[in-house]
Structure 1
Amino acid sequence: MTDSTSISLPADQRRREFIGGAKATFPLIVGAIPFGIIFGTLAEPSGLSAVGALAMSIIVFAGSSQFIVLGLLAAGAALPVIIATTFVVNLRHILYAANLVPKVRHLPQRWRILMAFGLTDETFAAVSSRYLQQEDIREAHWFYLGSFCAMYGNWVLCTAIGVALGEIFPDMTQWGLDFAMSVTFIGMVMPYLKNKPMWAAVIVAGAMAIATAALPHKLGLIIAALSGVAVGLSLQMLLTQTNTHSPAPDKEPQ
């Protein structure tokens, strides 16, 4: 006779992973709420209809790129310029994807397509923590799905709220709510600052982002990210090589 408990375990584990992903992402969602509302309030003044704003959040689902699109629309930029600029800004996701490839290689294509669409800064931070803390990653894609669904639902809902409130409170953009996203990104980075390579990567990336802020099409972000990765990886390899070649301590006499 088959044990019913053994049959229900996979479903229970997937449910726990899904809920765990949503819970892990919740603190980051709190910071993203004002960001989504502000996008909704800015849409119509920038020349994007309420339906267009909601459609962009549903189909594009990329916060920083959506804000850039609004700015370019307001400035009357041509479509090729808008596409090229948002493409450059989103190149950072290649770094995220490269980190996740070894962990999702066992999944079917339909899962990887879904995960590619749901890849955001917040979900990557939450999922990276999950992969680092537990060796068993067979059902970790359900954790990813929970994080993605939480972020996606929050972003679309907050866009709708922003569109509605924009008509009631047209000066909401002056309330200073945009600070929340900066705090969110700081909170995403801080848990990983546990060694010298990570500190070096963050410091160099921050310095390069400031130094290249004037470059067109947000190219400075990519330069800053690549510089931080290069410095952090180089320092990590140097420290590993140093530790490998350092002489072993002399054993105490018996």
Structure 2
Amino acid sequence: MPLPLASSAPAAAPAPTAREEWWAGVRALLPMLLGVAPFGLIYGVLAVNAGMPAWLACAMSATVFGGASQMILTQLWSAGTPALIVVFTVAMVNLRHALYSATMAPALSHLPRRWKALVAYLLTDEAFAAMTRRLTDTGERMRNRHWFFFGAGFSLWSCWQVSTLAGVLVGAQVPRDWPLDFFLPLTFIAIIVPNLKHRAHLAAALVASALAVACYGMPHKLGIMVAALGGIAAGMVLLPRTRPRKQETAA
């Protein structure tokens, strides 16, 4: 009687549990927290020194949850900028999150609305960078992938709240005449420069920087808005030329 042949196909690995996925998301964000914590600390100090109430500075970290927009909002607050301009400027800065959401949407389409809202709230630059690594998952690895997204976003959210609170507490002891706002452009430079990987990125950064300097004297910090619009326009002009080259390189 012939013996049955053993299957040569390897056994499929079991799907990670929700707990394993959550901790995997936390671990994926841990290296990035080294840069997030000082950023939140500086924001808390600058917010208090700009005259913002401590409770409002912390509440903004919990609701807005966006480092770049919170920094800009703090500057506009200290300059006495009208509320309408503040809202429009912050909306322009956060416009990139619409692109993040469009990228994440197919991976979240099967989830309940509460999960979509949670991941959307926790979606930031750093969290998006970690989440995109799992967008190509197939089969069983997709089952609890949303817990990975949750763990990545929650670790960043927790670090941001704690560092903001620490900055608010420290800021109350820091003299107002200290030039702490000098660290603001340095922080943005440290975030932006490593991400300038294509000509479109470089053009957007250079045009926005030049316009920000040229329009520095505009009232109500409107130069920030002009610089943002100019940088976006410059990047969009070169973007169609960048994509075909990337496709040719891949081919």
TM-score range, shorter chain: 0.7 to 0.9
1:230 maps to which of 235, 240, 244: 240
2:57 maps to which of 49, 53, 56: 53
Quickly say closer, same or farther: Cα 1:34–1:220, change in 2 above 3 A. farther
For 2:207 and 2:182, locate their aligned partners in 1 and report how far apart those are by CA, in whole Å.
28
Pick which of 122-131 and 177-186 moved more: 177-186
Matched, 1:173 2:180: yes
Secondary structure of the corresponding residue to residue 48 of structure 1: coil
1:49, CA displacement in angstroms? 0.7
Q: Is the 8 A contact 2:50 2:74 kept in 1?
A: yes
For 1:95 and 1:41, locate their aligned partners in 2 and report how far apart those are by CA, in whole Å.
31
Matched, 1:41 2:51: no
For 1:21 and 1:143, locate their aligned partners in 2 and report how far apart those are by CA, in whole Å.
4
Quickly say closer, same or farther: Cα 1:55–1:117, change in 2 above 3 A. same
Secondary structure of the corresponding residue to residue 117 of structure 1: helix
Matched, 1:64 2:68: yes
Q: Is the 8 A contact 1:72 1:82 kept in 2?
A: yes
Percent identity between the two aligned chains: 32
For 1:236 and 1:86, locate their aligned partners in 2 and report how far apart those are by CA, in whole Å.
32
**Residue matched to 1:210:** 206
1:227, CA displacement in angstroms? 4.7
For 1:111 and 1:119, locate their aligned partners in 2 and report how far apart those are by CA, in whole Å.
12
Contiguous gaps of at least 5 residues in structure 2: 1-13, 213-222
1:235, CA displacement in angstroms? 2.8
Contiguous gaps of at least 5 residues in structure 1: 1-8, 191-198, 244-254
**Residue matched to 1:161:** 166
Q: Is the 8 A contact 1:31 1:180 kept in 2?
A: no
For 2:239 and 2:102, locate their aligned partners in 1 and report how far apart those are by CA, in whole Å.
12
Quickly say closer, same or farther: Cα 1:102–1:177, change in 2 above 3 A. same
TM-score normalised by length of structure 2: 0.77
For 2:189 and 2:23, locate their aligned partners in 1 and report how far apart those are by CA, in whole Å.
26
Q: Is the 8 A contact 2:108 2:116 kept in 1?
A: yes
1:138, CA displacement in angstroms? 2.5
1:104, CA displacement in angstroms? 1.1
| One-letter amino acid matched to 2:202 | G
* Residues matched between the structures, number: 220
1:110, CA displacement in angstroms? 1.1
Cα deviations across residues 37-65 of structure 1 (Å, max 9, x unaligned)?
A: 00000112212110110010011111100
RMSD of aligned residue pairs (Cα, Å):
2.6
For 1:148 and 1:17, locate their aligned partners in 2 and report how far apart those are by CA, in whole Å.
12
1:71, CA displacement in angstroms? 0.7
Q: Is the 8 A contact 1:21 1:144 kept in 2?
A: yes
Matched, 1:147 2:143: no
Cα deviations across residues 8-51 of structure 1 (Å, max 9, x unaligned)?
A: x87x6111111111110111111111100000001122121101
Secondary structure of the corresponding residue to residue 31 of structure 1: helix
1:231, CA displacement in angstroms? 3.7
